[in-house]
Amino acid sequence: MEIIIEMQLLFKCPVQNQDFFTASWIVSGRLKQVESLSGQKSLHGRIEAHCPFCEEAHGFSPDELACPFGNSTHI
C-alpha cells in the first residue's frame, strides 16, 4: 500500500549530490518506528522521491531526510 502526502520534503540526489525539494515522493511499503538500546527512536522504511536532476526516482531511508517524520519541523 502506498501513502501519498502532499508535503514538500528536502532530499539529496545521491547521483549528482544536489539538494532538492519535492512533493513528488511516496512511502514505499511501511514505515516502522524502531527504538535502539539507548532509547533513541528512528524510523525504518523506504521513501521514493522523484529527482528533478536525474528525471527518475531515488529511494531514501527516513533517517536520510532533512525533515524526518515524527519531527516537529514542518515546511
Query: Which residues contact Zn ion (rule: CB under 5 A)?
Result: 13, 15, 51, 53-54
Please report how close the Cβ of residue 54 comes to Zn ion at its closest, in angstroms: 3
Q: Which lies closer to Zn ion via its Cβ, residue 30 or residue 53?
A: 53
| 4 residue type, one letter | I
Q: How big is the chain by its Cα radius of gyration, in Å?
A: 13
Q: Which lies closer to Zn ion via its Cβ, residue 61 or residue 71?
A: 61
Q: Which lies closer to Zn ion via its Cβ, residue 13 or residue 26?
A: 13
Total Cβ atoms within 10 A of residue 66: 13
